[in-house]
Amino acid sequence: MHFRKIAVPVAIVFVLFAGFTCFAQAPTLANIRKVYVAPMENHLDQYLTSEISRQFHGSLQIVTTAAEADAVLQGVNLGAQTTNQATVNLLDPSGKVVLWSGTAGDREGKFLDVKRGGLESIAQHLIRSLRKAMQSR
């Protein structure tokens, strides 16, 4: 009889803990509906935000804070002095799990002129790659 008094509460705690750990897992690309685009060098974040709006047609919402987001798009390597290549990561909200990573730039290694669409071209390529990755999952 004493065993039942202990077993039931222990079982309830176990079920609650198991359910909580399922919800605490990192999101998958297919589950992402809201993204925060972190500020980046050369204002690449603004070009990426524009491309997300253009290419996702509202199926991926851009939010203004990381706390509201399912994922965070963050610049990793933006070519400090040049704009011929950029690498960005899509991270889970904690910033610990990379859900997707993409690199874009001039294939010939030439300098992309910012005034002539270099950053726009990089943003288009990165978001096109992200969209394809999200659709295939």
> Tens of pLDDT along 15-73?
555 554 445 566 788 899 999 999 998 889 999 999 999 999 999 999 999 999 999 99
SS3 67: helix
> Tens of pLDDT along 71-96?
999 998 665 555 577 899 999 999 99
- Greatest Cα pair distance, the chain, in angstroms, is 80
Query: What would the two tokens of residue 119 be?
Result: 């950053």
Q: Name the residue type at position 81.
A: Q
Q: Are the C-beta atoms of 84 and 112 separated by less than 8 Å?
A: yes
Name the residue among 106, 105, 101 with its Cα closest to residue 88. 101
Q: Does domain 27-135 have CATH number 3.30.160.150?
A: yes
